[in-house]
Copies of this chain bind each other. A is one copy, B any other.
Amino acid sequence: MKEEIIYHIDQDTLELKNPVMIVGLPGVGHVGKMAADHMVEALGAKKIVDVYSEHFPPQVMVKEDSTVELVGNRLYLAETDKADLLILAGDSQSTDPAGHYKLCEIYLNFASQFKVNRIFTLGGYPTGVMSDENYVIGAANNINMIEELKEKGIQFNPSEPPGGIVGASGLILSFAKLKNIDAACLMGTTTGYIADPKSSKALLGKLCGILDIEVNMDALNEKIKDMDQIVEKIKDSVTGGELDEYYEHTPASDEDLIYFG
């Protein structure tokens, strides 16, 4: 097995209306992953493709019912009034540099196959400081797109992020350009030290504005409340004992709620 791609739909007859691809994979603060996972839930998206690869960690996840699922990424389809959304979400990015290149080619093949008009990759932008405000920083493969996104409240700063964009969120922009697909990366500002559902919500808010759709935020608000309590506890605690306590009493399905990079 190098890569295994399993379709759960009849890919030849699937016709999409104004298809837009959204990519939210694990990364800084899990900002992009939590945004994409939330969209899948809130919009009742259905899984249409499974992607497995030897470039992912050699690992299975255990589900609530104790059955296992091979680590992989998944393409979901959510139909909205304005656009059919192809949401790429999942467990992992490549474990090695070359794998990123191979996997992003696969993701772009989906974009071609389903005649995607534009792609938004979602990520986090680490600032290193706690802040009450969340901005969304952008970069794109196309200067016209930048003008449009500025009007929707996305910030574009010269040569920012200074270190570039690492992983699928970045590569997809350049690979999309080779296929003449407009693509932008939207990055929610976050501390970089902790999973940040607040940043995911701010990011998702802007994305909804761009796509002119609405997404119920209830589940994400719950996560934010949980996270606020944790951060309070951390602030109160010098030893970090409460953090351990949190870990022990939190259901494992929230295992990506907190992490330290």
Contacts and interface: CB of A to CB of B under 8 A. Distances in A.
Interface string A145-184: 0100000000011111111111110110111000000000
A158 B55 contact: no
A101 B104 CA distance: 20
Contacts of A58: 94, 97, 100-101, 104, 166-168, 170-171
A215 interface: no
Contacts of A163: 255
A173 B171 CA distance: 32
A9 interface: no
A39 interface: no
Given A66-B138, A165-B68, A170-B60, A159 B97 contact: no
A139 to B, nearest CB: 5
Interface string A238-253: 0000000000000111
B97 A54 contact: yes
Per assembly, the copies of the chain total: 4
Interface residues of A, number: 59
Contacts of A59: 164-167, 170-171
A200 B174 CA distance: 31
Interface of A: 1, 54-71, 94-98, 100-102, 104-105, 138-143, 146, 156-168, 170-171, 173-175, 185, 251-253, 255
Given A139-B68, A157-B66, A95 B97 contact: yes
9 contacts: A1-B102, A55-B97, A60-B170, A62-B159, A65-B146, A66-B156, A66-B159, A66-B160, A158-B251
A163 B62 CA distance: 8
B105 A1 contact: yes
B160 A67 contact: no
A71 B251 CA distance: 40
A96 to B, nearest CB: 7
Given A159-B251, A164-B62, A173-B60, A68 B98 contact: no
